[in-house]
Amino acid sequence: MPNHRPPQDPVKVFGFSTLAGLLAALALLGEPATPSARVVPPADQSPPASTSGGLDSLALAARIDRYLEASWEAEKVEPAPPAQDAEFLRRLYLDLAGKIPPVSAAREFLDNRDPEKRRQLVDRLLDSPAYATHLANTLRNLMLPGANANLQFQSLIPLFEAWLRLRLADDVRYDKLVGELLTVTTRDNVPFNPAAGGEPSPAAFFVANELKPENLAASTSRIFLGVQVQCAQCHNHPFARWKREQFWQLAAFFGGGNAGSPQARFGAGLQDNTDRKGIEIPGTGTIVPARFLDGSEPAWEAGAGKRATLARWVTSADNPYFARAIVNRLWYHFFGRGLVDPVDDIDEANPPSHPEILDELARQLVYHDFDLKYLIRAITATRAYQLSSLTTHASQEEPRRFARMSLRSMTGEQLFESLVQATGFPEQAPNQRNVFVVGANMGRAAFMNKFSDTGPSPTDHQASILQALTLMNGQLIADATSLNRGETVQAVLEAPFLDTGKRIEILYLATLTRRPTNDEAAKLNELVQKADTETKQKQALADVFWALLNSTEFALNH
Give tens-digit pLDDT for 72-100. 999 999 999 999 999 999 999 999 999 99
Q: Which amino acid is at 343?
A: V
Q: Which amino acid is at 203?
A: A
Q: Give the pLDDT confidence score for residue 10 in this predicted structure.
A: 31
Is the confidence at residue 331, as pLDDT, over 60?
Answer: yes
CB atoms within 10 A of CB 79: 20
Cα separation, 553 vs 514, in Å, equals 11
Q: Give the pLDDT confidence score for residue 258 in this predicted structure.
A: 56
Cα separation, 170 vs 176, in Å, equals 12
Q: pLDDT class for 24, splitting at 50, 70, 90?
A: very low
Q: Give the pLDDT confidence score for residue 411 in this predicted structure.
A: 87
What average pLDDT does this structure show over 377-404? Answer: 97
Burial pattern 187-197, b for ≥16 Cβ within 10 A else e, equals eeebbbbbeee
9, 31 contact by CB (below 8 A): no
Q: pLDDT class for 406, splitting at 50, 70, 90?
A: very high
- The residues, any chain, with a CB within 8 Å of residue 160's CB and separated by 6 or more, are 140, 143, 144, 192, 200, 201, 202, 203, 204, 205
Which has more confidence, 448 or 261?
Answer: 448
Is the confidence at residue 363, as pLDDT, over 90?
Answer: yes
**Residues recorded for the chain:** 558
Cα separation, 328 vs 342, in Å, equals 10
Among 452, 441, 423, CA closest to 542: 423
Most confident of 47-61, 166-180, 294-308, 453-467: 166-180
User: Model confidence over 200-217: pLDDT tens digits?
Assistant: 999 999 999 989 999 999
Cα separation, 418 vs 421, in Å, equals 5
Q: pLDDT class for 412, splitting at 50, 70, 90?
A: confident
Q: Give the pLDDT confidence score for residue 359 in this predicted structure.
A: 98
Give DSSP secondary structure letters for 375-393.
HHHHHHTSTTTTB-SS--S
184, 198 contact by CB (below 8 A): no
Whether the link from the prior residue into 352 is cis, omega within 30° of 0, is no
Cα separation, 409 vs 380, in Å, equals 19
14, 22 contact by CB (below 8 A): yes
518, 453 contact by CB (below 8 A): no
Q: Give the pLDDT confidence score for residue 189 in this predicted structure.
A: 57
Q: What percent of the chain has pLDDT over 90?
A: 60
What average pLDDT does this structure show over 40-61? Answer: 61
Q: Give the pLDDT confidence score for residue 186 in this predicted structure.
A: 79
Q: Give the pLDDT confidence score for residue 190 in this predicted structure.
A: 55
What average pLDDT does this structure show over 228-254? Answer: 68
Q: pLDDT class for 477, splitting at 50, 70, 90?
A: confident
Among 133, 106, 29, 76, CA closest to 396: 76
- The residues, any chain, with a CB within 8 Å of residue 454's CB and separated by 6 or more, are 460, 464
Which has more confidence, 80 or 433?
Answer: 80
CB atoms within 10 A of CB 393: 12
Q: Give the pLDDT confidence score for residue 222 in this predicted structure.
A: 95
Is the confidence at residue 545, as pLDDT, over 50?
Answer: yes
Q: Which amino acid is at 526?
A: E
CB atoms within 10 A of CB 441: 10
Which has more confidence, 402 or 258?
Answer: 402
Q: pLDDT class for 34, splitting at 50, 70, 90?
A: very low
Is the confidence at residue 417, as pLDDT, over 90?
Answer: yes
Q: What are phi and psi for residue 408, nearest 5 degrees? A: -125, 135
The chain-wide mean pLDDT, for the chain, equals 83
Q: Using DSSP, how many helices (H) and how many strands (E) does the chain show?
A: 26, 4
Which H, E and C letters describe 232-293, residue by residue? HCCCCCCCCCCCHHHHHHHHHHHCCCCCCCCCHHHCCCCCCCCCCCCEECCCCCCEECCCCC
Q: How far is CA 507 from the centre of its chain?
A: 26
46, 59 contact by CB (below 8 A): yes
Q: pLDDT class for 153, splitting at 50, 70, 90?
A: confident
Cα separation, 366 vs 316, in Å, equals 9
Q: Give the pLDDT confidence score for residue 471 in this predicted structure.
A: 65
Is the confidence at residue 45, as pLDDT, over 50?
Answer: no
Q: Give the pLDDT confidence score for residue 13 in this predicted structure.
A: 29
Q: Is 434 exposed, middle or buried (0-12, 13-18, 19+ CB in 10 A)?
A: middle
Which has more confidence, 174 or 147?
Answer: 174
Q: Give the pLDDT confidence score for residue 466 in this predicted structure.
A: 56
Lowest mean pLDDT among 76-80, 306-310, 375-379, 453-457: 453-457
What average pLDDT does this structure show over 436-459? Answer: 55
Is the confidence at residue 147, as pLDDT, over 80?
Answer: no
User: Model confidence over 113-145: pLDDT tens digits?
Assistant: 999 999 999 999 999 999 999 999 999 999 998
Is the confidence at residue 475, as pLDDT, over 70?
Answer: yes
What average pLDDT does this structure show over 503-510? Answer: 98
3-state secondary structure of 82: strand
30, 5 contact by CB (below 8 A): yes
Q: What angle do CA 534, 539, 544 make, to 5 degrees?
A: 125
What average pLDDT does this structure show over 208-234? Answer: 84
Q: Give the pLDDT confidence score for residue 146 in this predicted structure.
A: 76
Q: Give the pLDDT confidence score for residue 524 in this predicted structure.
A: 97
Q: Give the pLDDT confidence score for residue 135 in this predicted structure.
A: 98
Q: Give the pLDDT confidence score for residue 160 in this predicted structure.
A: 95
Tell me which H or E stretch contains 557: strand 556-557
3-state secondary structure of 347: strand
What average pLDDT does this structure show over 285-290? Answer: 91
Is the confidence at residue 31, as pLDDT, over 90?
Answer: no
Is the confidence at residue 46, as pLDDT, over 60?
Answer: no
Is the confidence at residue 430, as pLDDT, over 60?
Answer: no
- The residues, any chain, with a CB within 8 Å of residue 465's CB and separated by 6 or more, are none
Cα separation, 419 vs 546, in Å, equals 11
Burial pattern 336-353, b for ≥16 Cβ within 10 A else e, equals bbbbbbebbebeeeeebb
Cα separation, 169 vs 329, in Å, equals 20
- Beta strand 408-409 pairing with 287-288: unpaired
Cα separation, 232 vs 243, in Å, equals 6
Cα separation, 506 vs 514, in Å, equals 9
Q: pLDDT class for 340, splitting at 50, 70, 90?
A: very high
Q: What angle do CA 343, 349, 355 make, to 5 degrees?
A: 60
Is the confidence at residue 193, as pLDDT, over 70?
Answer: no
Whether the link from the prior residue into 115 is cis, omega within 30° of 0, is no
